Amino acid sequence: MMSEHEAGPVLFSVEAGVGIITLNRPDVGNSMNLALMQQLQAAVGRCFTDPAIRAVLLTGRGKLFSGGGDLQEFNDQTDLAAYLRGMTHALHNSISLLLRMNKPVIAAV
């Protein structure tokens, strides 16, 4: 297994041609924040562009795949609108790449 990211809100590795993307905030139910969205976008982008990656597995650590948005982090923002724009931009880009990817994408939830 080749490990790209071993810590942070998203783990990414490649094993036998499969890009493995793992949401890694199990202590908060893998709830989404800006850092998670940005790292998810980077991992999905790598899977999209790397011809050695022939399939993608998307999963989450812990009991939940994802509990949605991180409401506590939203509450802590001084400019919530800008924060949410950054999150939705990264999420939209990730979903767009996943939809256009000519590789199998499996969500293990």
Encode pLDDT of 86-109 as tens digits: 999 999 999 999 999 999 999 999
* C-alpha 106 chain-centroid distance: 13
Encode pLDDT of 50-83 as tens digits: 999 999 999 999 999 999 999 999 999 999 999 9
* C-alpha 101 chain-centroid distance: 15
Enter the pTM of the model.
0.91
Domain count, the chain: 1
Residue 61 sits in a domain whose CATH number is 3.90.226.10
Those residues with Cβ within 8 angstroms of residue 63's Cβ, 6 or more apart along the chain or in another chain:
26, 29
The range of the structural domain enclosing residue 69 comes to 2-108
